Amino acid sequence: MHRRKEEILDFLAEGVFTVDKNFVINYFNKASERITGFDPDEVKGRMCKQVFQSDLCTGKCPIAEALSSGRNLFDLKSRIKKKDGTFVNVKLNVGILKDEDQNPVGGVVTFRDLSYLLDNKYDNCEHFYGIVGNSRVMTNIFNLIQEIAYTDASVLITGETGTGKEMIANAIQATSKRKNEKYIKVNCAVLPPSLLASELFGHAKGAFTDAVKDRIGRFELADGGTIFLDEIAEMPIQMQAQLLRVIQEGTFERLGESITRKVDVRIIAATNVDIKEAIEAGKFREDLYYRLNVIPIEVPPLRERKEDIPFLVTHFLKKYDFVYKKEIVKIDKDALDILIAYHWPGNIRELENVIEYAVIRTKSEESITLCSLPEFIFDGKTTCGKKQSQSVSPARLLQLLEENHWNKSKVARLLGINRTTLWRWMKESNLT
């Protein structure tokens, strides 16, 4: 009879697994394997949180909550990490298992994959370390990253703002032989020159007014690992000589100190600036460029890889469908065609903002339509024929304004509206 019950559970489309009172898995059906990628035989005897890696695990465990409260839990939305490292949105229920005397002996979790709610035509794109892309140009980049996995050569990633250069850097580090070592990131455009030097190379006590104690720099922190220098073209030319020395000799001195220190660091750099133009303008050292550009990777703008747009749309739909607790069915063809036709000056980052906006405006269990999209996306080609009503609550609008320091242009861009519409919404919400 026990075997018969398992056969019935294996027939279900929903994932089902059970745990004992110590949260050790003792049953895992076929649908659970299909959704998570874990084989039932490899998970039995393992802790639930080691296999069913849910964002709910960061708070109070739903199974523990059900067992302690004596109540079953229903319709919990969660995002779980699969065996291959990708994520899937699920809806789950948690129940209490009891013995013949009605004493709790464990828990049962049923869950269903919400990705079927989206258009499966664009749901089979392979993710390369979180990067979505099926186009030939992106496949070539993925292949190159794998080819250079066993080298320590410097890499220079170029491309427009919003193309995903940092994600490329992350993938390079994750596939490298230093993947288990330290990975330090520095944005060279954020800090003024005096602070950037201290940030990178550290300083000795008394090196300058605020140097009240010795400080280790990012290169020392990254010793044995990898450092990612974002917006490298913004580094002051006086400091570039110090970076060149680190690359060539593996040595440097902290500010205000004469002791020469050695480091073993792999360097990945990125920029959205034309480096050759910067060299001609005297803003970037040519010798440093050649040292960094051992392995060049140029990330294409989104307008040059439009075949990836449907896959990116599906990816971001899943993400924000979960964030806003909705069940968006799909995106209509007319709306998708408009997204493909748009020129995307802000690249993937802009596309993500547009999809977030569309999800906010779309009701649960409905499709994203032309009317879900922001005004600017149409480029004068078409319109949904509706006056745009306020799609965010006054509280959410206030939150966005405060988060962006009341930069109305930025908030309008995020919401996919013009400044006039934003001003009207602010007035209607008594925020003027």
> How far is 328 from 313, CA to CA, in rounded Å?
12
Residues pairing with 90 in the sheet: 78, 113
> How far is 418 from 206, CA to CA, in rounded Å?
51
Please name which of 234, 200, 249 lies closest in space to residue 220, comparing C-alpha atoms. Answer: 200
Residue 246 falls inside a structural domain: yes
pLDDT: which is higher, 203 or 183:
183
CATH code where residue 358 lies: 1.10.8.60
Helices (H), 271-326: 275-280, 286-292, 309-323
> How far is 284 from 121, CA to CA, in rounded Å?
46
Domain shared by 291 and 322, yes or no: no
93 — alpha (psi -120 to 50), left (phi > 0) or beta?
Answer: beta
Tokens representing residue 318 in the block: 């899943």
Phi, psi of 277 (to 5 degrees): -65, -40
Residue 363 falls inside a structural domain: yes
Total domain count, the chain: 3
CATH code where residue 222 lies: 3.40.50.300
Query: Over 80: is that where the pLDDT of 13 sits?
Result: no
Q: What is the total residue count of the chain?
A: 432
pLDDT tens column, 230-270: 999 999 998 999 999 999 999 988 877 888 999 999 999 99
Domain shared by 145 and 98, yes or no: no
pLDDT grade for 387, boundaries at 50, 70 and 90: very low
Domain shared by 292 and 313, yes or no: no
Q: Are the CB atoms for 151 and 128 separated by under 8 Å?
A: no
Percent composition of the chain: helix, strand, coil (DSSP 3-state, to 5): 45, 20, 35
Q: What is the pLDDT of residue 347?
A: 96
Longest dimension (CA), the chain: 83
pLDDT tens column, 99-151: 888 999 999 999 987 765 555 556 655 578 889 988 889 999 999 999 999 99
Give the DSSP H or E segment for 272: none
Domain shared by 104 and 174, yes or no: no
pLDDT grade for 280, boundaries at 50, 70 and 90: very high
pLDDT tens column, 353-368: 999 999 999 888 788 8
Query: Over 90: is that where the pLDDT of 174 sits?
Result: yes
Name the average pLDDT for the chain.
86
Residue 121 falls inside a structural domain: no
Region 146-164: what's the mean pLDDT?
A: 95
150, HSE (Cβ side, Cα atoms, 13 Å): 1
Region 48-62: what's the mean pLDDT?
A: 86
> How far is 32 from 163, CA to CA, in rounded Å?
35
Residue 228 falls inside a structural domain: yes
Please name which of 269, 263, 259 lies closest in space to residue 245, comparing C-alpha atoms. Answer: 263
Q: Are the CB atoms for 54 and 64 separated by under 8 Å?
A: no
User: Of the ranges 40-54, 247-261, 328-342, 411-425, which one carries the lowest mean pLDDT score?
Assistant: 411-425
What per-residue string of b and e applies to 309-319 under the rule 16 or more CB within 10 Å gives b?
A: bbbbbbbbbbb
Tokens representing residue 397 in the block: 């609008």
Helices (H), 176-228: 193-201, 218-221
Please give the residue range of the domain that contains residue 405. Answer: 305-379+388-428
Residues pairing with 78 in the sheet: 90
Residues pairing with 81 in the sheet: 53, 87
Region 73-89: what's the mean pLDDT?
A: 84
> How far is 27 from 45, CA to CA, in rounded Å?
9
pTM value > 0.75: no
Q: What is the pLDDT of residue 45?
A: 93
pLDDT grade for 385, boundaries at 50, 70 and 90: very low
Tokens representing residue 330 in the block: 């799909």
Domain shared by 179 and 256, yes or no: yes
Query: Over 90: is that where the pLDDT of 10 sits?
Result: no
Domain shared by 214 and 319, yes or no: no
